[in-house]
Amino acid sequence: MNKYRNDFPLFKAIDEKNSVDNSGLVYLDTAATAQRPYIVLNAMTHFYATQNANPLRGLYSLSERATKAYEDARETVAKFINAPSSREIIFTRNTSEGLNLIANTYGMANVNAGDEVVISIMEHHSNILPWQFVCQTKGATLKFMYVDKETGEIPESEYAKITPKTKIVSLTHVSNVLGTTNPIKKIAEIAHKNGAVMVVDGAQSTPHIKVDVQDLGADFFAMSGHKLCGPMGIGAVWGKMELLEAMPPFLRGGEMIEYVTETSATWAEVPHKFEAGTVSAGDAVGMAAAIRYIQSVGLDTITEHDNALAVRLIEGMKKIPHVNIVGNKDGTKRCGIVTFTVDGVHPHDIATLLSEENIAIRAGHHCAQPLGSYLGETATARASLYFYNTEEEIDALIENVAKLRAWSGFKD
């Protein structure tokens, strides 16, 4: 897999004053954001250099080319997750905005007093706060499915919390802390039997595993471009057409209208009803280029590589005294995410000490504070792996984690 590192300029970037040298960087924070290959940067440059016009509005050829590039990107996203139609793809800024869109449109229109919304304790704040708001505003109840602390998985007994009172089940596909891949298909079947819709947070799944929204049984699916080697500031929501057509718009303004009077307005067709104002066309083009690049590497190949590195990391850490793996100890079930603590060393100190060795990991609550409280961990350290990472980098992390307590003044 090492050959793919040459596709990423950051890993060999040296500025003209030699004050920055990334050639030795061990980057293990892909769950926060992935690096971008040349092909993505070039696609965006090409768009702004040769197709830069406001899409959807102009009747001249340059604007038409910009429109085509934008709509081609929509088609690429649709095919990537096997959406039935590209018209069901709505571009957003990121997964967080996508989940807010769903909550503030479908949620606010369909959840009422006495209803219930079911999520899990492992959710990112982006899939908690919107549903808290909906339930608090509408007088509904927000229920949590809890995880087994050893396996990091939701026991089937927790599925019973989905009842005929449930209007929405919203669940992460892959946990950004535990790396758990949730059985969305099984949970979606239970949700549908109870008359609820299934919302899926795909921020961490789309970069690592094949996603088929139809096979999953999802009704809505949200994702980000920057997690899968695309630019920041672009993401997408997929929703079933009959649901999207019945939903009110999320934002109001230019382009999302059909006709406006002094007192009323009618909306444009889906998906434009949900894309107010000037769209992020260059970023959409970059996201599409990233998807094509990921597909050229192969998601099966990526999954296999991520799992192998996670197994290597976990097995290495198991041999180090005072190191604790949070969640499942089986690396093949971690989707490239390994979260850990070290006795006596605060996670922020772990990240700082490793940074001095040119190793970049994440430390903190990972925007999942309810999960941390449930597990009894206010903060953890997280190494998140991707296909551009190597066995040598994993070994470097293991070697330096073994030194953390000594660096912190412990004698054992």
Q: 233-244: per-residue pLDDT in tens? A: 999 999 999 999
**Band (18; pLDDT cuts 50, 70, 90):** low
Q: Where are the domains of the chain?
A: 2-30+298-407, 41-295
Which CATH number, 3.40.640.10, 3.40.1030.10, 1.10.10.10, 3.40.50.720, labels domain 41-295?
3.40.640.10
Query: Residue type at 379?
Result: A
pLDDT at 78 over 80: yes
Residue 21: predicted pLDDT: 78
Residue 248: predicted pLDDT: 93
pLDDT at 125 over 90: yes
Which CATH number, 3.90.1150.10, 3.40.47.10, 3.40.50.150, 3.50.50.60, labels domain 2-30+298-407?
3.90.1150.10
Helix (H) or strand (E) holding 324: strand 323-325
- 3-state SS class at 153: coil
Phi/psi for 19 (5° steps) reads -85, -15
Q: Around Cβ 409, how many Cβ atoms within 10 Å? A: 8
pLDDT at 281 over 70: yes
272/249 Cα distance (integer angstroms): 9
**Band (17; pLDDT cuts 50, 70, 90):** low
92/89 Cα distance (integer angstroms): 10
pLDDT tens by residue, 32-76: 999 999 999 999 999 999 999 999 878 899 999 999 999 999 999
**Catalytic residue flag (residue 367):** yes
Q: Per-residue pLDDT averaged across 147-169, rounded?
A: 98
Summary mean pLDDT of the chain:
96
Token pair of 76 as six digits: 């690429």
Cβ within 8 Å of residue 61, ≥6 positions away: none
Q: Out of 135, 229, 335, 367, which one is annotated catalytic? A: 367
Residue 150: predicted pLDDT: 95
